[in-house]
Amino acid sequence: MNKKHLTVKKLDISNLADVMKLQEKIISGLHPDEQHFILHRTAEDYMKSLDGKSSNMLGVFDGDVLIAQTVFNMPQNGEERDMPEFKPDLENKDLVLYEAILVDPAYRGSSLMKKMLEYIEGHALDNGRTHAIIQIAVDNPASWINALHHGMSITKVDLDPVDAAKVIYLEKEIAHSNTPNLRAANNNHQTYSLFLGENIHARIPSLFNKMQYLIQNGYKGVSLNKETQSLIFEKQTTSRTKSLNFAYFSNDKVSSL
C-alpha cells in the first residue's frame, strides 16, 4: 500500500469494472449489521453516473488502483433529483448532491472523503452551484462526522421517505465557505453538547432521538469536540428563545455564548 502517489480524477465508463470491484470489496468487508447503510448499486446504476451528465463519479487512485469513489449529482431545473424532501425551496441549478461515498478500509484515516468533497465543491462552484447537501444513515457515524469536519451542518434528522431508514441530512453553503466566520463577533448563540460516548454505535438509537429533538427546537449540528466526545449543536437566540426540556438530556450540557 503506497499512499504517496494518490490522484483524484473524474471517472468515466472505462472505470466501471474498478468501480464495481471496489464496491464489492467494501461491502464484503463489513459486518452484516453494517451492510444495510451502503446502497448496493448495480452496474447499470453506475453507468448512469459515469456518462458525465447530471450524475457524475469521482475517484481516488493509488497508482492504478481505485481506492475511493463517490457519486455526485448536479441536477438541472425541471428534472427529478434525489432527496426532494430536503431543501425543496432551493432550485436544482443551485445544488450539488453528495452520494455513495466509498473508501477502501485500508485507506481510512487518510482524509480521502475530505479530498473528494473539496474537489467536487470546487467543480460545483465553477458550475454556479451554491449549496451542497448529503443524506447519511445515522448508524454510519464515521461518514457524518467526516461531513461535519468538511464544514457541513446537520439540519434535518428524520426517516427516509423511501425505506423509512433513520437518516441525517447535512448541508453547506459552498458559495460562502471561504468568507470569514462571523460567529466570534456574534454573542447571540446557544450551544448544546451532545455526548457521543466511547461506543457510539451502542448509543445510535438514543442519539437519533436526541438529534431529532434538538433540530425540532431550532438547533443544528455544527462540529465535533474530540476532547469531550461530544457533538456540538447551536442556534441563534432571541429574547423569545424557549428553553429546552433539559431533563430530556441527562448527560448533556447546554451553554450560551
Which is nearest to 60 in space by CA: 15, 127, 17, 29?
15
Rg, C-alpha atoms of the chain: 19
pLDDT at 140: 86
Per DSSP, 244 falls in state P
**Cα-based distances in Å from 77 to 7, 114, 236:** 32, 28, 32
C-alpha cell at 34: 453494517
Domain ranges (residues) in the chain: 1-179, 183-257
Strands in 11-130 per DSSP E? 55-62, 65-73, 95-103
pLDDT at 179: 46
Q: pTM here?
A: 0.84
154, 174 in Cβ contact below 8 A?
no
Strands in the chain per DSSP E? 6-10, 55-62, 65-73, 95-103, 131-137, 153-159, 166-173, 189-195, 220-225, 230-236, 253-256
Domain covering 1-179: architecture: 3-Layer(aba) Sandwich (3.40)
Q: Which ranges of the chain have pLDDT less than 70?
A: 1-4, 30-39, 176-187, 238-251, 253-257
pLDDT at 134: 96
C-alpha cell at 106: 485500508
pLDDT at 248: 55
Measure CA 256 to chain center. Answer: 27
Residues 6+ away with beta carbon under 8 Å from 108:
142
pLDDT at 182: 43
pLDDT at 236: 83
